[in-house]
Amino acid sequence: MTELAYEGVTVVDMSQGVAGPYCAAMLGLHGATAIKVEPPDGDWIRLMGGGRDGMTALAIASNLGKRSICLDAKKADGRALVEKLASKADVLVENFRPGVMKKLGLDYARLGAVNPRLVYLSITGFGDSGPWAAKAGTDSVLQAYTGMATLNKEDSGRPRRLGMLVPDTIGALYAVQCVGAALYARTRTGRGRQIKVSLAECCAAFQAAPIVDEALFADRYKPPIAVPSGVFATADGFIVLLTLRTDMWERFCRAIGRGGWVTDPRYATNEGRGEHAAEINRLVGEILSTRSSRGWVEVLEAADVLCAEVQTYAQLRDHPQMKHMGYFGELRQPPYEPLSVPYLPGTEHGGPVRPAPRAGQHTRELLRELGYSATEIAAMEEARIVVQGS
């Protein structure tokens, strides 16, 4: 395996949930040593969504390849442990509400003074000041607040939440890019910095095009991007269909046996098809309902029309293209049988995926690396400053 980009970088991940932990996990999958610092009872994400031994799907996917230490940062000795970890780290990730880390004495002013090379990432829901600074930034709240649920509205106009943790995931993606930029800047300056990222701004940036689109067409007719376009029912499932440009429209018409539409003056231009979008989509839906998804995909692909069968995750894992490219790897994640999970894009494929840790799985190991003796570790466990996982 080639040398990974973040070999030699140490990340202390104090965050919980998904956005911060997934950011730290991505740094780890690119070669960093990622240490997950959890409270004595573990990250709350270990309780969300079901699973055994605190290994929920979200806990696994957001913590691949890390080691975990459980400590009580509300106690002075626990805070001293965090400070010692941070003094040797390159990156620290936290996602508490504004003011929490300062109250603990673990804010950037403190830890940056201890370790001037530290890149300190703070992720909040809505920013570190303002009327909503203290508001909890959950996925559903962010999808509603940032217009994402409106963008994904039902045909009736009812807003609809997307079925995965989109704000947290894209927050992690923007955050890991910011950390990479800060580490690169450190190669020139020799100094770290604090990075502040909010889920609200990440959701806004992610939706830049539809936000601009809404501003451009707020008070007048907005033509659809393409017609026909959308999800259409077939005889045995669903396909997604999209025709771009007039030449693709003409190939589509002939492929479905409606060559007469090519010469219909109402449908001759993109603008004209946009004005008749409801009619065209209805007629296309009636036609597509007469044949299987696979049958239509074969016909439309032969005509070079954009389309795909709507698949389940199981179908995705088993698809010949995914298997050919080796996009999924084997994860041996206790307490489960081997799982098939996607590799992080841009990393080498082919080997096993490193598992996520149980809460506190590496507490004693990490304390020994910090120089503590067995007697000192036992005393900290007795005082519930640290917890060793089972």
Angstrom distance (rounded) from CA 372 to CA 7: 25
Residue 66 has pLDDT above 90, yes or no: yes
Q: What is the pLDDT of residues 124-182, one digit of tens each?
A: 999 999 999 999 999 999 999 999 999 999 989 999 999 999 999 999 999 999 999 99
DSSP 360: T
Q: What is the structure's pLDDT at 390?
A: 82
Q: How far is CA 258 from CA 204, 253, 389, in A?
A: 42, 5, 65
Residue 296 has pLDDT above 80, yes or no: yes
DSSP 83-116: HHHHHT-SEEEE-PPTTHHHHHT-SHHHHHHH-T
Quickly tell me which residue has 């959950």 as its tokens: 138
Superfamily of domain 229-312: formyl-coa transferase, domain 3 (3.30.1540.10)
- Report phi then psi at 339, rounded to 5: -110, 150
- Contact call for residues 174 and 197 (beta carbons, < 8 A): yes
Structure tokens at 362: 């590496």
Q: What is the structure's pLDDT at 3?
A: 82
Of 16-20, 151-155, 340-344, 361-365, which gets the smallest average pLDDT? 151-155
Task: List, by residue range, all CATH 3.30.1540.10 domains of the chain.
Answer: 229-312
Q: In sequence order, what are the residues at sequence separation of 6 or more whose Cβ sits closer than 8 angstroms to the Cβ of residue 283?
A: none
Q: What is the structure's pLDDT at 186?
A: 98
Q: What is the structure's pLDDT at 225?
A: 83
Q: What is the structure's pLDDT at 1?
A: 54
Angstrom distance (rounded) from CA 57 to CA 19: 14
| 3-class secondary-structure state, position 117 | coil
End-to-end CA distance of the chain: 32
Residue-averaged pLDDT of the chain: 95
Q: What is the pLDDT of residues 186-242, one digit of tens each?
A: 999 999 999 999 999 999 999 999 999 989 887 766 778 899 999 999 999 999 999
Angstrom distance (rounded) from CA 22 to CA 169: 7
Q: Is the pTM of this model over 0.95?
A: no
Number of alpha carbons in the 13 Å side-chain half-sphere of residue 82: 30
- Report phi then psi at 255, rounded to 5: -65, -35
- Contact call for residues 159 and 223 (beta carbons, < 8 A): no
Angstrom distance (rounded) from CA 69 to CA 340: 26
Strands 10-13 and 339-342 turn out to be unpaired
Task: List, by residue range, all CATH 3.40.50.10540 domains of the chain.
Answer: 10-208+328-387
The CATH fold assigned to 10-208+328-387 is: Rossmann fold (3.40.50)
Q: How confident is the model at residue 347 (pLDDT cuts 50, 70, 90)?
A: very high
DSSP 353: B
